[in-house]
Structure 1
Amino acid sequence: MNMSNTNTFAIEKYLAFRHIQYKSVQRLTGGTGNYVWRIVDESGGSQVAKHAEPFVASNPNIPFALDRMDFEYKALMQIPQQIPTDELIGMPKVHCYDAEQHVLTIADGGSRTLKDAYTDPDVGIPEYGRRLGAWLAALHQKSRETNIGNNITAKTIYRHAYTHTSATAKNFDLDPALGERVNTEYGSLLSTDDECVCHGDFWPGNVLVSDRGLTIVDWEMVRRGCGATDVGQFAAEAYLLDRFCGNRGLLSAFLLGYRQAGKLAASFVRRMAIHMGVHLAFWPTVVPWGSSEETKECVVLGNEIMKKATEDNWRDRLKLTPLKDLLKDEL
């Protein structure tokens, strides 16, 4: 059966072809890469179906390699077997994977992300942050020998912010040379990093919150790399949530949870700071969090973190940034 059609009628035909019973099918929004539906059965239970096309679902003019779904399936099958069981945090169970049609059906982790739930007073943000940090550290520590394959697409996409940081700095009357230097020295490492398995897009928007706990989703960008990039990305997004949505302490709790898992090498901390800086220096200009002045504030902070992290006395300099909690007892 050809699944090239990308509307709800097409997925309904596909489900009928696969003899999958359902009561309703709802197209989900919010993502960019794939076509996603929630499938509800007669008993009220639900699962989620993801379908990949060779382009970005939100913009068909942008090509996107289909093997992203193969990598996600591999991650969902392999990684839960390798990291310690956590009663609060997990990954979605795979129901079935149709590699020919690029359809992945998984357990439903809920309809609310941690980003959406951040302002809910009933959601324990500090506890969730600490536990997510510890879980991510376990992923990085336990996957050093895991062969997840060479996800070239993920490596290319992950460098996007590095290649655009210098132009963004110039737009805000900042020195573009810093971004160029960071891209050359650190962005280039993304193609050769090979320390452990990285989620590849680890941020509060890919953590689902439900009464059952937290579910880590969207593993298409999984790759072997440097765990500091996962930490840096989540730290940057946690900072933005704290800064603009209530200062509930997600960043400090997350860094504490990761740091408590073991002593961090100086090179790891420096790399994490660089990545956090790059993220803040670029992504708030794509996904604005506030006014134009507040966007500039984020870009300036990102460049400041990058600058401090590249200086000789970077440890002491970074203690003057939002990363101070990571540096209290390390090194």
Structure 2
Amino acid sequence: MAPITTLAELSSYLASAGIGYTSIQPLSGGTANFVWRLQTSDGRTLIVKHAEPYIASIPSIPFPVDRMDFEARALEQIPRLLGRVETEVPVRVVRLVRYDAGAKVLVMEDGGEKTLKESYTDPTLPIPQLGATLSKWLAKLHASTATTDATVGDNQTAKFIYRHSYNGLADALERFGFDRTIGERVNENYGSLLQTDDECICHGDFWPGNVLLRRADNAPPTLALVDWEMTRRGTGATDVGQFAAEAWLLDRFRGQRGLASAFLRSYVDAAKPSKEFLRRVVVHFGTHIAFWPTSVVWGSEEETREVVGIGKGVLEGALEGEWALDEAGLGIGEWSL
């Protein structure tokens, strides 16, 4: 597989593939792949995504290229499996234009220039409504793919990467002065389940940074879901927990606009999940906020310690069966066991 990492290499590939364009713009924001926006002669924009056998931003770290195969499969299959989802704001999976499995080049429609994370502080956006809309869409994804014949393949890379926060949880807790055995118990009891969970198709990286917004003048936004390379069969609780955790961090550090609580309440209303499912949501939520802010900066060292401590409290409650998400200030105290 010839490398496609520079504008010259991409131009050569596009010419050989017969893909015409008028301009190319490299895109930043992701870490794993090489991504560009193409302007076509008919006025459209397309996104080109290419995988090398390493993380694009850290070439010393290997990363299997089969991630592109799973994403292409998801872009083809998910819209068909879901059908039409009635939500207040239109939500869609970006359309696959073409996929070159040999070169690991995926061409898809352009879902928008800004993510929900980037747009969170825009005062004209109805943030709680967008959170509720996304949770209803996610609940439909999980319900529509609950049968075992709905599959995107066995994505072992996704399962391995998804356990990263569980594997690192004990060290993160210890670094900020908390009992590392809590992290060890969570990893043993719940991280170990990620390999065998088989309830539905999960997006695998469901967070506000993978939701693109498009707005025409002052019209309501449309939402597009991107970055499906970590899709897998698993438990939908991890999708819910990841989005809720990242939304909670946005609320805490970017303006308290109510994204997390609106998302969680709407998912529960739509999916009517079991108590054990909710426990898994809470475990994943607590793991995420206790681990990721120790490597992705949200605030000061002291603010990070506070967040890790909140995550620790959430996890202690989940382990003891006496949890409530009020521990994280979400105002959803009725979710207790």
Query: Is the TM-score greater than 0.5?
Result: yes
Shift of 1:9: 1.2
Which residue does the alignment assign to 1:122? 124
C-alpha contact 2:208 2:247 (8 A) present in aligned 1: yes
3-state SS, counterpart of residue 270 of structure 2:
coil
Alignment RMSD:
1.4
Structure 2 residue 44 is the aligned partner of structure 1 residue 45: yes
- Pick aligned residue for 1:150 from 150, 154, 174: 154
Map Cα deviations across residues 262-305 of structure 1 (whole Å, 9 max, x no partner). 32201001010000000001100111101111111111111111
Which residue does the alignment assign to 1:188? 192
Shift of 1:108: 0.2
- Pick aligned residue for 1:264 from 259, 263, 273: 273
Shift of 1:324: 3.9
- Pick aligned residue for 2:164 from 152, 155, 160: 160
Partners of 2:313 and 2:301 in 1: CA distance? 18
Unaligned runs of 5+ in 1: none
Distance 1:178 1:260, change over 3 A: same
Partners of 1:313 and 1:224 in 2: CA distance? 29
- Pick aligned residue for 1:251 from 247, 251, 260: 260
Q: How does 1:266-305 map to 2 (within 5 A)?
A: 266-305=275-314
- Pick aligned residue for 2:328 from 318, 321, 327: 321
Code of the aligned partner of 1:328? E
Code of the aligned partner of 2:125? V
- Pick aligned residue for 2:245 from 222, 236, 242: 236
Map Cα deviations across residues 195-252 of structure 1 (whole Å, 9 max, x no partner). 0000110000000011250000000000000100110000000000000111111011
3-state SS, counterpart of residue 115 of structure 1:
helix
C-alpha contact 1:119 1:245 (8 A) present in aligned 2: yes
Shift of 1:191: 0.4
C-alpha contact 1:26 1:37 (8 A) present in aligned 2: yes
Which residue does the alignment assign to 2:180? 176
- The range that moved more, 93-102 or 294-303, is 294-303
C-alpha contact 2:290 2:308 (8 A) present in aligned 1: yes
Shift of 1:19: 1.4
3-state SS, counterpart of residue 30 of structure 2:
coil
Structure 2 residue 212 is the aligned partner of structure 1 residue 203: no
Which residue does the alignment assign to 2:16? 17
- The range that moved more, 45-54 or 255-264, is 255-264
Which residue does the alignment assign to 1:56? 55
Map Cα deviations across residues 86-124 of structure 1 (whole Å, 9 max, x no partner). 461001101100000000000000110000000001111
- Pick aligned residue for 1:102 from 89, 101, 104: 104
Partners of 1:255 and 1:328 in 2: CA distance? 12
Shift of 1:84: 3.8
3-state SS, counterpart of residue 230 of structure 1:
helix
3-state SS, counterpart of residue 82 of structure 2:
coil
Which residue does the alignment assign to 1:67? 66
Code of the aligned partner of 1:174? F
Partners of 2:321 and 2:117 in 1: CA distance? 35
C-alpha contact 1:3 1:14 (8 A) present in aligned 2: no
Partners of 1:319 and 1:35 in 2: CA distance? 40
C-alpha contact 1:36 1:51 (8 A) present in aligned 2: yes
TM-score, normalised on structure 2? 0.94
3-state SS, counterpart of residue 6 of structure 1:
coil
C-alpha contact 2:311 2:328 (8 A) present in aligned 1: no
3-state SS, counterpart of residue 60 of structure 1:
strand
Shift of 1:312: 3.2
TM-score, normalised on structure 1? 0.96
Distance 1:300 1:43, change over 3 A: same
- Taking only the aligned residue pairs, the percentage that are identical comes to 50
C-alpha contact 2:4 2:50 (8 A) present in aligned 1: no
**How many pairs are equivalent?**
327
Which residue does the alignment assign to 1:91? 93
